[in-house]
Amino acid sequence: MMAEKMNFAWGHKRRYNDFGTYMRSHFKGTVQKVSVNAGLTCPNRDGNKGYGGCTFCNNDTFKPTYCQPDIRVKEQLSRGIDLFKAKHPDTKYLAYFQAYTNTYGDISQLIDLYEEALSTPEVIGLIVGTRPDCLPDSLLDYFQDLSKRQYLTVELGIESTSDLTLLRVRRGHDYKCTIDAVENLVSRGILTGAHLILGLPGESRQEMLNHADVISQLPINFLKVHQLQYVKGSILGADFMKNPEKYEVFELDEYIELVVEFITRVRPNIVMERFASQAPYNMLLAPNWKLKNFEMARMVEKRLEELDVWQGKYWKGSNA
């Protein structure tokens, strides 16, 4: 009965539309993301929109050791691929431009970086992480052409659908900017992902759940959500250390309940890429659950089963 109610694109057994199943189905094999650090910056750090970055941000929290901006993109990819190759010889790779804003800079230099990544034999596509306010038309034209010849996803840091929250975290753009960016990408046939943080300061549980309803109205393909992490080297982390009593920190059980309810409100055909993030222990202040992403995914799946709910159970819109 549950399978009838779920309207997932490829009929798998899970209670949410999981990224691993999507990737295996799309590529007919195993695909692994390999991060690259292209040495770019972001407008919220270089003074174009602000200095010091979004309050929650420290890019060092997701930088593997081979990912150094002074190493060429192709070399970073080779080193990253070498970590998997011996055990998984048939795996293909997507170059993941993750750190900072990967569409911010001189357009021809950006295109050279993407093409350098794509010239790596094992790399079959790109995932490009960016902000919604950094997508000039000339780059969108390139992405439109690129996505006809290679796999491409543009992943937007949206973080919140609330303008008040975006202001509080010094994001430097509003939610309307996100709506426009998604429409520009999707109208050009470019696969589009969104990234949201649950637990940003000042947001109530209800507001966090509301993000699921609001973001599901956008024609995005992928969604990543994770808990707010207080990390060293961020504005929020510094204030958290001084005044911890000002901030809410999720208990693990509380966060799983929130994510499960969130999922029930997400449009069924959005592919859910992850529910948690884990900064390196030496950088993480809180919450310290010591859980890998797959362990969190299992706990979420178990709770979905216990409650007999599934992705989109309470989504009231159409399957855009």
Backbone angles phi, psi at 166, to 5 degrees: -60, -35
Residue 146 sits at the vertex; the CA angle it makes with 144 and 148, to the nearest 5 degrees, is 80
Nearer to ligand SF4, 131 or 303 (CB): 131
Q: Which residue reads 């790596």 in tokens?
A: 120
Instruction: Supply the minimum distance, in Å, between the C-beta of residue 171 and ligand SF4.
Output: 7
**Residue 22: CB minimum distance to ligand SF4, A:** 25
Q: Which one-letter amino acid corresponds to residue 197?
A: I
- Give the helix/strand (H/E) hosting 126: strand 123-130
- Rounded CA-CA distance 171/98 in Å is 17
Shortest distance, position 102 Cβ to ligand SF4, whole Å: 10
Rounded to whole angstroms, the maximal C-alpha distance in the chain is 54
Handedness of CA 256, 261, 266, 269 (dihedral sign): positive
Q: Select the residue interacting with ligand SF4 from 44, 120, 221, 264 (CB under 6 A).
A: 44
If one asks whether residue 101 binds ligand SF4 (CB under 6 A), the answer comes out as yes
Question: One symbol per residue from 51 to 70: x for binding ligand SF4 (CB under 6 A), - otherwise; what is it?
Answer: --xx--x-x-----------
Instruction: Report the residue from 80, 125, 132, 157 that binds ligand SF4 according to the rule CB under 6 A.
Output: 157
Region from 1-9, 37-45, 116-124, 198-206 binding ligand SF4, contact rule CB under 6 A = 37-45
Asked whether the beta carbons of 169 and 160 are under 8 A apart, the reply is yes
Whichever of 17 and 35 has its CB closer to ligand SF4, that residue is: 35
Write down the residue that tokens 């010889």 correspond to. Answer: 89
**Does 293 interact with ligand SF4 (rule: CB under 6 A)?**
no
Residue 48 interacts with ligand SF4 (CB under 6 A): yes or no: no
> Taking CB under 6 A as the criterion, which residues in 226-245 touch ligand SF4?
none
16 interacts with ligand SF4 by CB under 6 A: no
Q: Tell me if 131 contacts ligand SF4 by CB under 6 A.
A: yes
Sign, CA dihedral 263-163-140-219, equals positive
Q: How far apart are CA 143 and CA 155, in angstroms?
A: 12
Residues making contact with ligand SF4 (CB under 6 A):
42, 44-45, 53-54, 57, 59, 100-101, 131, 157
